[in-house]
Amino acid sequence: MLRHLGADDRSSTRVRIVDGALDCLARQGIAKTTVDDIARAARLSRATVYRTFPRGKEGILAAVVETEVARLFSSLAVAMGEATDLEDVLVAGMVASARGLRGHAALSYLLAYEPGAVLPYLTFGQLDRLLLVAGDLAAPFFARWLEPEQASRAAEWAVRIVMAYCANPSPDTDLTDAPPGAPLRAARDPRPACRHGGRLGAAGALGVH
């Protein structure tokens, strides 16, 4: 379960440590980052960092993931909640996701220089968990226009497309550069594909090849 950032009196210190860790990860990655580096970036003492995260670096990294997922989901909820039709919600979700992931400095550094720290989460069982969580978040927004099963499939396909785009951006489709309300070639009504199933059907319905 994602912890609300303002859940207790330690939240401000916790966020400072998380943000300090993000700064370090964006500059030097995981391997070279120490608890002392994070404490300096957060402008806190080493003792304060360990009081907040007794597990040290391992606990801080887990909090970074938890916090950044919460932040991304929060921004997606706002963007998708303002959609007025199915195409709008698809565009809003994909654009906001692509912008958030492609523009994430720490994630970009890790993918470039320490891919082994990230890629295990994008394969096999971990990928299934990621798709499940992301799909559960997005499905209720699609469900305003689709049946529950179709909404779940549409959400999963949209997540797969965004992940594929972030891993290997297409020169023909820029998911991060779309004016509000502007339709993307990648955003089309997924209902025909939902009736057939399969990844190729989804990609075709969404206009991504």
DSSP run (H or E) holding 73: helix 57-81
Q: Note the pLDDT of residue 11.
A: 76
Q: Which domains does the chain have, with CATH numbers?
A: 1-62 (1.10.10.60), 82-206 (no CATH)
36-to-20, 45, 73, 133, 176 alpha-carbon distances in Å: 11, 8, 30, 33, 35
Cα separation, 100 vs 171, whole angstroms: 19
Q: Note the pLDDT of residue 166.
A: 77
Q: Note the pLDDT of residue 158.
A: 86
Q: Note the pLDDT of residue 56.
A: 96
The whole-chain average pLDDT of the chain stands at 79
Q: Note the pLDDT of residue 209.
A: 36
Predicted confidence band of residue 120 (pLDDT cuts 50, 70, 90): confident
Cα separation, 63 vs 71, whole angstroms: 12
Q: Note the pLDDT of residue 183.
A: 41
Contact 60, 35 (CB under 8 A): yes
pTM for the full predicted model: 0.73
Q: Which residue has the higher pLDDT, 162 or 170?
A: 162
Q: Note the pLDDT of residue 153.
A: 86
pLDDT of 194 strictly over 70? no
Predicted confidence band of residue 156 (pLDDT cuts 50, 70, 90): confident
Q: Note the pLDDT of residue 10.
A: 55
Angle between helices 57-81 and 86-102 (to 10 degrees): 150
pLDDT of 173 strictly over 80? no
Q: Give the tens place of pLDDT for each residue, 69-82.
A: 889 888 889 989 98
The amino acid present at 84, given as its one-letter code, is T
Predicted confidence band of residue 127 (pLDDT cuts 50, 70, 90): confident
Q: Note the pLDDT of residue 8.
A: 45
pLDDT of 148 strictly over 60? yes
